[in-house]
Amino acid sequence: MIVANASIGMPKHDVADLALAAKGKKRILWADQDMPVLTAIRERFEIEKPLAGLRMSACLHVTAETANLARTLKAGGADLLLIASNPLSTQDEVAASLVKDFGIGVAAIHGEDGMSYYKHVAMALEHQPHITMDDGADLVSAMVFIALDKLEKLGGNQKPVQDWASKFTSAQRKTLFEGVIGSMEETTTGVIRLRAMEKDGVLKFPVIAVNDAATKHLFDNRYGTGQSTLDGVIRATNTLLAGKKVVVSGYGYCGKGVASRARGMGSLVIVTEINPVAALEAAMDGFAVMTMAEAARVGDIFITVTGNKHILGAEHFPLMKTGAMVCNSGHFDIEIDLKALEAQCTEIIPDIRHEVEEYRMKSGKKIFVIGHGRLVNLAAAEGHPASVMDMSFATQALATEYCVKNQGKLSNSVHPVPVEVENYIATAKLASMGVSIDKMTADQVSYTTSWEHGT
Ligand code: ADE
């Protein structure tokens, strides 16, 4: 059921079914057990209220882990509206529980179409946020497109936001950013988009690159994407990974994670890359490295994690073996050219299994597409486990506090997360794991800080 406006006693919401709340609450509390760093921050926020009086709009995957971040931001005093950053990642029961049990506004429905997705973006902007939080920079991009009068760019020409945005006079559009203190960005893809905005001079408030914090990308991108991507492939297909040739495209932190986990499951892993240093690293890490034209002929399972478009394109599908499985774990659904594949097919059979479609090619070959080419870890599984999202979302919460504390002092550009925040999170996570580490002696401190010690 869709309720677009706030009903009595409820925050603003547009969710699938509030009756799912009880199931969602169990999921949220289950995840919370594995998020001790975020819990400690929530307890402090509850007392100190660093976000008091601030409206926040967050465009994130609406999962149990995100719910615990939302609870933390609310504990800090924020009036939060959460919308989905991907139509297939929303956990409807979690969305329902956030509204009903935790009093947090949510506009997100699993499987929503482009119109609904962008209606929710419009709701997030109508919330007039002081702070925004993005997973892929859709929210900030929408604001920039509206301010620059580039309405045709909004979500690939989506009507609801255009209709909504066209209500603004040009004078109002220019003031769209007024009152915005800053924004947080969760992903590599989003940070790249935001740096491009900064370069073009269209970024009108500071952004904190949460993705670039060591406590985010070293763990979330590598171990989170590594495990949850294979989890998605396995849940969708129940295929045996041992002995399979798994082609991983892209050897950034996400690709490294997927490749190492696939090797751990006994797969023969092939890496494709365009960056010579990353390709060399993959080769010296012991992976086969080749072009996609070569890999396409031998791969059993293809996983794209590049952040770029058409990694698997028209020229590759005819080379593939029948029964090849293809999926994507990069942020947007652009890495596999599904239109080109469709053009080579006589039939697409949906629901071969949950989140698996069979593309029957004119040659009679079958190619299986998992998760519609969208993030396979969230479409076919539950995304990264809570333990790793603990660090990512602790970084988000503390970056938000930093952004607010430094209101007016940060330039309208992309900023790193302060190293003190990274060290706090790593120390707290180690403590929660019962791990102690050594401290430098005074003599060692002197050795590492002076240039006067010789060999
Ligand atoms: N991105 C990847 N996994 C996620 C999760 N479990 N929750 C929110 N965002 C995610």
pLDDT in tens, 402-424: 999 999 999 999 999 999 999 99
Strand order in the sheet with 288-289: 288-289, 268-272, 245-249, 301-304, 324-328, 366-370, 356-361, 345-353
Q: What tens digit of pLDDT does each residue of 375-392 get? A: 999 999 999 999 999 999
C-alpha 455/C-alpha 441 separation (Å) is 19
Residue 232 near ligand 1, beta carbon < 6 Å: no
Reported pTM: 0.93
Whether the CB of 389 sits within 6 Å of ligand 1: yes
74 lines ligand 1 (CB under 6 A): no
For the cut 90, the answer to whether the pLDDT of residue 155 exceeds it is no
Q: pLDDT tens for residues 257-282?
A: 999 999 999 999 999 999 999 999 99
Query: What average pLDDT does the chain have?
Result: 94
Among 151-160, 195-204, 333-342, the least confident range: 151-160
Domain-wise residue ranges, the chain? 13-215+384-432, 223-379
Tens of pLDDT along 43-86? 999 999 999 999 999 999 999 999 999 999 999 999 999 999 99
Least confident of 8-17, 25-34, 105-114, 396-405: 8-17
pLDDT above 80: residue 133? yes
Cα–chain-centroid distance for residue 20? 24
Kindly state the helix (H) or strand (E) to which residue 346 belongs, with its residue range.
Answer: strand 345-353
CA of 57 to the centre of ligand 1 (A): 17
- Asked whether 190 lines ligand 1 (CB < 6 A), one says no
Q: Is 65 in the pocket of ligand 1 (CB under 6 A)?
A: yes
The contacts of residue 346 (CB under 8 Å, 6+ apart) are: 360, 361, 362
Do 223-379 and 13-215+384-432 fall under one CATH topology?
A: yes
CATH class belonging to 13-215+384-432? alpha beta
Both structure tokens of 430? 């180690």
* 384 Cβ inside 6 Å of ligand 1: yes
Q: Which atom of ligand 1 is nearest to the CA of 384?
A: 3
Q: What are the respective helix, strand and coil percentages of the chain, to the nearest 5?
A: 45, 15, 35
Q: What is the pLDDT of residues 231-244, one digit of tens each?
A: 999 999 999 999 99
Residue 407 contacts by C-beta under 8 Å, 6 or more apart in sequence? 181, 182
Q: So what's the pLDDT on residue 56? A: 98
Tell how far the Cα of 172 is from the centroid of ligand 1, in angstroms.
35
Q: Is pLDDT above 60 for 5?
A: no
CB 61 within 8 A of CB 83: no
Judged by average pLDDT, the poorest of 4-13, 290-299, 341-350 is 4-13
Q: Give the model confidence (pLDDT) of 421-436 as tens digits.
A: 999 999 999 999 999 9
pLDDT tens sequence across 88-99: 999 999 999 999
CATH class of 223-379: alpha beta
Is the pLDDT at 21 greater than 50? The verdict is yes
Q: Is ligand 1 within 6 A of the CB of residue 63?
A: yes
Please give the share of the chain, as a percent, with pLDDT higher than 90: 85
pLDDT of residue 160: 67
In angstroms, what is the span from residue 393 Cα to ligand 1's centroid?
A: 10
Give yes or no for residue 394 CB within 6 A of ligand 1.
no
Report the pLDDT value the prediction gives residue 7, as an integer from 0 to 100: 45
Identity of the residue numbered 287: F
CB burial of residue 453 (10 Å; 0-12, 13-18, 19+) = exposed
- What pLDDT does 399 receive? 98
Q: What is the pLDDT of residues 195-212, one digit of tens each?
A: 999 999 999 999 999 999
Question: What is the reported pLDDT for 306?
Answer: 97
pLDDT at 157: 60
